Structure 1
Amino acid sequence: MFAQRTWSPAVRRAFPQVADLVYAVVSLGIMGTMLRNLPNSQGYWRHTDVWAYVLLALVYLPLAVRRRAPLTVLIGTAACALCYLTLAYYHPVVVCGLCLAFYTVAARCPRRLVAKCAVGSLLVLLWGTRLAEPGIGPLSVVFVTVTVAVTWVTGDRSRRLAERGERLAVLSEQLRLEQEEKAQRAVMAERMNIARELHDVVAHHVSAISVQTGLAGYVFTSDPGTAREALETIAGSAHEAMAEMRRMLVVLKEGTERAQEEEGGDHTAAPGLGRLDQLARRVEAAGVSVDVRITGASFALPPGVDLCVFRVIQEALTNVMKHAPAANASVAVHFDEAAVRVRVADDGQAIPVATTAGPGGHGLIGMRERAGVYGGTVTAGPGPQGGFEVALMVPVSRDR
């Protein structure tokens, strides 16, 4: 296939000017030839002389700049045409020049001004109809009147089309800017989602590894069995963290379906309430006792909601490991007709809300952002009987 030829902006800008210049010169040549070869045996018109050609040139040559100064060109062309017709030269040769000048005004100027120009152009052409051959005077009047009217309508339509094109160009630019803004917002939202997911995955597993590392170092010589169990827990946490990171990368690169294929089609392998017991065991291995209770008639949650609930529970238990490592924690999940409700509480020392976000401020903020995506809410603060409590509510209907 041949490559499409594209013209430079300079060529596109120069083309109308060159076309107008060519039109003016060619039209002058054609009309001058008609005037020179005109048979005037009956003497209806004044004999052609040098002034006829001068006035004819003054009618057509200014058309080369009609787009730059349409009103000035029309006034000059009309004045020269009026002089030409007053001197009684052959009149049809100036009609095209005057009509084109008027068309340019109609296509580029306000309607009120165009109406005045239409009257002036029509009067000039009507003045020339007195030179018509005997018997066709009325027909000449009708002809020039219709010509001016058609020129006016055509120019006005061209102006409206140009204005519509300008409006469409403005709207197109606005749409482009809006699309760029939406794309930027989508990128920022995706970055925030990735940041939350990375924080939840890394923070939890690193916290568990940190606790187990301290335990292993403490009992390394005095209790090798406990140290070995701690090292096994560290290895398990590291392996699970790598698995979740690998799954995240696959989802980012190739989508959810590809991630499920990598997991052998096991839908429960993805983080969710199906892995709540595994999460509790890992936290218990770090020294925090966890009591998990699920009440109500449980049902399958949408994948996004399921992940949201799991991550909030995971983050809440991670905070317990960080700030109350010797506490007892409880996780209560309740399913009702319109929502799933979660309560994670511990009996340790109350954790100031400002610290639950960690040094980077992602913990509690991330929980609330996750829940907000699905219309849910997260509250966190000291429990009624001491300790700390995180409550999550996500609306979801079992009849969806």
Structure 2
Amino acid sequence: MRIRPLAVDALIALALTAVAVLLGEESARQGWPELDASGYVLVALANLPAVLRGKAPLAVFLFVHAVWFVYVTAGYWPVLNTFAPMLAVYTVASLRPARLSLPCAALTGAAWIYAGLITDGATMAAVVAQAIGFPLVIWRFGHAARRTAELARQLKVEQDERARREVAEERGRIARELHDVVAHHMSVISVQAGLATFVFGSDPATARAALGTIAGTSGEALEELRRMLRVLRAGDGEDGDGTPEAPMPGLARLAEMVERVRAGGVPVELRVTGEPRPLAPGIELCAYRVVQEALTNVLKHAPGAGTDVELAYRRRHIEVSVSNDGKGVIQDRVRTGGGHGLIGMRERAKLYGGTISIGPLSEGGFAVRLTLPTSARAAAQGDSGAE
């Protein structure tokens, strides 16, 4: 259970008052007048206002010192009411800037010297040393507490800002992910819709197959959109619709992707070498998305090109390549340095410590080759097979 600051200050005020009352019983033994009704009233007025020190530190300081001045002038033992003024100095120093708290500490020292001047037999050298030393030390502690609180607040602001930046970066990553996914599916849908329109009257079976591919692809696109929207809503503090998230795609679904692209009219072949094994989900997703983006580019820029997708499992890394023979290219040149898809592929490879090459082949065509380490050691030291 969290204790409220006002309750803590109330306990402190009661403790200060109790200590002052107990010390008051020693006044006579110390050669000072015993506390009477007026003395007890002044003791209460000097200590009980500490309950409000957190809300009005400067007002409490001035009130406590005014009562202390009256108390000392009345001839009572000054030591009884020294704790509340020192606490007031600390409070002002911990909550207010030095231009306000230093004069308050000086005022406490002046009141201390005043008490020594009106006390018979007081050693003024010791009184002046105490009047300078005690308020200065207490002020220093209060000022240090204020600086610590300011640094803590600044650190929290920086942490909150860093968290906001990380959220923004994550949302940017999600947006790029969404672009890759939707671009691929929409390319397939576009090709299939054109095919269905072309053969609708002459080849109903092919048209029906194309429409079936459109239905399946659009369903997968909607699934991906729902997954991304759930992530975005979770970033805004919403719980989403409560439905479980579908697993992120991996290398096991490459055959489905290739079949879908082949149904779109692109002659694609998939070859897998090496012994397939479970990989980290991030590695599989990275390889899957790179292949997806590369095939999307084939659909966009070379829909008639023969395309090969190769996946090779090595000892400490995997190699993925998508290459085409360049036939059916509808643009004179595909730039290798621009476009959101190419940038996204490079960012993914860099994120997982891999390497990627994107560019035309000497014998014609275009290729994307990705190498990803599959172990932390390989990612840190590199793999000779990946070079």
TM-score above 0.5: yes
Gaps of 5+ in 2: 10-51, 77-99, 236-240, 379-387
**Do residues 34 (structure 1) and 15 (structure 2) align?**
no
CA displacement, residues 252-292 of structure 1 (integer Å, 9 cap, x when unaligned)? 5679xx999565xxxxx641110111111111111111121
Q: What TM-score results when the alignment is normalised by the length of structure 2?
A: 0.66
Supply the distance in 2 between the matched residues of 1:286 and 1:365 (Cα, whole angstroms): 25
> Are the aligned partners of 1:99 and 1:148 in contact in 2 as well (CA < 8 Å)?
no
**Corresponding position of 1:246:** 226
Give matches, 1:303-314, under 5 Å.
303-314=281-292
| Secondary structure of the structure 2 residue equivalent to 1:193 | helix
Give the residue type in structure 1 aligned to 2:70.
G
* Correspondence for 2:113 among 95, 98, 105: 98
**Corresponding position of 2:362:** 384
**Do residues 204 (structure 1) and 184 (structure 2) align?**
yes
> Are the aligned partners of 1:289 and 1:327 in contact in 2 as well (CA < 8 Å)?
yes
> Are the aligned partners of 1:341 and 1:394 in contact in 2 as well (CA < 8 Å)?
yes
| Secondary structure of the structure 1 residue equivalent to 2:60 | helix
| Secondary structure of the structure 1 residue equivalent to 2:71 | helix
* Correspondence for 1:274 among 232, 248, 252: 252
Supply the distance in 2 between the matched residues of 1:169 and 1:398 (Cα, whole angstroms): 41
Shift of 1:378: 2.5
Supply the distance in 1 between the matched residues of 2:245 and 2:173 (Cα, whole angstroms): 22
Supply the distance in 1 between the matched residues of 2:316 and 2:272 (Cα, whole angstroms): 16
> Are the aligned partners of 2:249 and 2:285 in contact in 1 as well (CA < 8 Å)?
yes
Give the residue type in structure 2 aligned to 1:296.
G
* Correspondence for 2:335 among 334, 348, 354: 354
> Are the aligned partners of 2:272 and 2:310 in contact in 1 as well (CA < 8 Å)?
yes
Shift of 1:325: 0.4
Q: What TM-score results when the alignment is normalised by the length of structure 1?
A: 0.64
Give the residue type in structure 2 aligned to 1:379.
S
> Are the aligned partners of 2:105 and 2:136 in contact in 1 as well (CA < 8 Å)?
no
Aligned residues: 304
Distance 1:396 1:283, change over 3 A: same
> Are the aligned partners of 1:338 and 1:398 in contact in 2 as well (CA < 8 Å)?
no
Supply the distance in 1 between the matched residues of 2:139 and 2:106 (Cα, whole angstroms): 18
> Are the aligned partners of 2:250 and 2:285 in contact in 1 as well (CA < 8 Å)?
yes
> Which structure has the greater CA radius of gyration?
1
Shift of 1:73: 5.6
Supply the distance in 2 between the matched residues of 1:227 and 1:356 (Cα, whole angstroms): 38
Give the residue type in structure 2 aligned to 1:335.
Y
Shift of 1:187: 1.4
CA displacement, residues 282-331 of structure 1 (integer Å, 9 cap, x when unaligned)? 11111111121122233211111111110110110010011000001111
Distance 1:355 1:221, change over 3 A: farther
* Correspondence for 2:136 among 151, 156, 160: 156
Give the aligned CA root-mean-square deviation in angstroms.
3.9
**Corresponding position of 1:88:** none
**Corresponding position of 2:279:** 301
**Do residues 176 (structure 1) and 156 (structure 2) align?**
yes
Supply the distance in 2 between the matched residues of 1:293 and 1:14 (Cα, whole angstroms): 74
**Do residues 363 (structure 1) and 341 (structure 2) align?**
yes
Shift of 1:212: 1.0
Distance 1:155 1:71, change over 3 A: closer
Supply the distance in 1 between the matched residues of 2:334 and 2:166 (Cα, whole angstroms): 30
Supply the distance in 2 between the matched residues of 1:99 and 1:168 (Cα, whole angstroms): 34
Give the residue type in structure 2 aligned to 1:354.
R
> Are the aligned partners of 2:113 and 2:131 in contact in 1 as well (CA < 8 Å)?
no
Gaps of 5+ in 1: 36-65, 78-95, 101-123, 133-139, 264-268
Give the residue type in structure 2 aligned to 1:98.
I
| Secondary structure of the structure 1 residue equivalent to 2:192 | helix
**Corresponding position of 1:18:** 59
Distance 1:215 1:191, change over 3 A: same
| Secondary structure of the structure 2 residue equivalent to 1:207 | helix
Distance 1:253 1:214, change over 3 A: same
> Are the aligned partners of 1:247 and 1:259 in contact in 2 as well (CA < 8 Å)?
no
Shift of 1:70: 5.6
Identity %: 44
**Do residues 234 (structure 1) and 225 (structure 2) align?**
no
